[in-house]
Chains A and B, each alone.
Chain A
């Protein structure tokens, strides 16, 4: 096999950046907001959802390989890509140029949000060793607390709106970069359709926040430590 030049590797890394935005990160976002929205149905249903995930085999491997490493890679490449460009949206104030700019800004905002969000959920969960059925009461307690303050709500609102916009607009960029959307009208129509996708995701997230904020119920583990099924 022929070895790749530095220049060809850069191309492949950019393609991988684009791909990781959809698979797995975009998929994760959809599932994550979807699972969390179970909270709007009821706290038991939500607990059941978290239990389901936290009792999955090889959970740590799945999380590290399919979520954490891709997000780190996408973020690292994202900052690299963002620094390569030069914003000119005030000179050329076209709608699409705004989207281009926002794509980069929201990427940075999502990164900051993730540091805070993972630092206040996954991280304490690992530190305090809350696994299996212990995890959901612990995490639900944390979310109740975060959604009880306006600063917490603001952080989540900004995080959710940024992530959903970034994903929706990213879906559009992805389809063009990989050649799925060619014609001018097709690009415009898909852009509108993807914004609806983003809107639905954002509503999901905001409804979840509202459920936590308006009705902070705490739960007990379904099974206690040491008990086996």
Chain B
């Protein structure tokens, strides 16, 4: 007799519908992960009561933990479904959509706020204008190393889901944005627009709304030093504030 796994999924038929739990029983396969189980459910969407139901909806893309789209709450903790192997997980497995983003359907949420917030914080480096302004300065090894760490952010939302200060209805920008502001501010060309990135962080929902619970760094699947970024942005905004209040 082959083993089976129970998967309990918190479902929702549309953004405004009431959520409900539905359990599926699947044959246990070697090296299965949460995504492969969801694919099995999709092939044969029959719940534990033997009823044929609407297939479960979820987001995924790269399947190697670099795109961030399959982020969900697995056994109570936020992480990527593609990297969640079934074997070490406690059974029955519970799957929930992230709670800090507007629900779309089942495990699918709308992470658009993250991208809007990155825009607000000018999280990019401006390109040359109509004429070539030459090569940028060389970057030392240490800075490049740090920049690489920060560049790995995939805007997955784990940090925000676990952050007690980030809620569905407030306007906190959150650790991912602070870390990206730091990332672009440490680039010599990016630093030319440093103030443009700091100003939006010195408003309602900005850096002062961080409560230093530090869950962000604890759950970050890329181990990005988010709390260090927060402190660094704290420092940059402190200098900017002093400059604004007492120098200019």
Contact = CB atoms under 8 A, between A and B. Distances in A.
A pairs with B:
yes
Interface of A: 5-8, 10-11, 14-15, 18, 81, 84-89, 91-92, 94, 96-97, 99-101, 103, 172-173, 176-184, 187
Given A84-B209, A92-B219, A97-B214, A182 B164 contact: no
Contacts of A87: 164
Contact of B232 (A92, A94, A179): A179
A182 B170 CA distance: 27
A182 B203 contact: no
Given A7-B204, A85-B164, 5 more contacts: A8-B202, A84-B170, A86-B167, A91-B162, A173-B211
A91 to B, nearest CB: 6
Given A88-B162, A97-B164, A182 B232 contact: yes
A10 B203 contact: yes
Contacts of B211: 81, 85, 100, 103, 173
A163 to B, nearest CB: 19
Nearest to A17: B208
A178 B237 CA distance: 8
B136 interface: no
Contact of A176 (B218, B231, B237): B231
B218 A11 contact: no
Contacts, number: 105
A178 B238 contact: yes
B213 A97 contact: yes
Interface stretch (B4-12, B23-31, B123-131, B222-230): B222-230
The 10 residue pairs across chains A and B that have the minimum distance between CB atoms: A179-B235, A100-B213, A14-B208, A179-B234, A96-B214, A7-B204, A10-B204, A7-B203, A182-B231, A85-B164
Contact of B234 (A11, A99, A178, A184): A178
Nearest to A8: B203
Contacts of A177: 207-208, 210, 212, 234
B221 interface: no
B65 to A, nearest CB: 20
Interface of B: 76-77, 162, 164-165, 167, 170, 202-215, 217-219, 225, 227-228, 230-239, 241
Given A14-B208, A91-B76, A179-B232, A97 B227 contact: no
Given A11-B206, A176-B212, A176-B234, A182 B218 contact: no
Contacts of A187: 227-228, 231
A91 B213 contact: no
A88 B76 CA distance: 11
A94 B208 contact: no
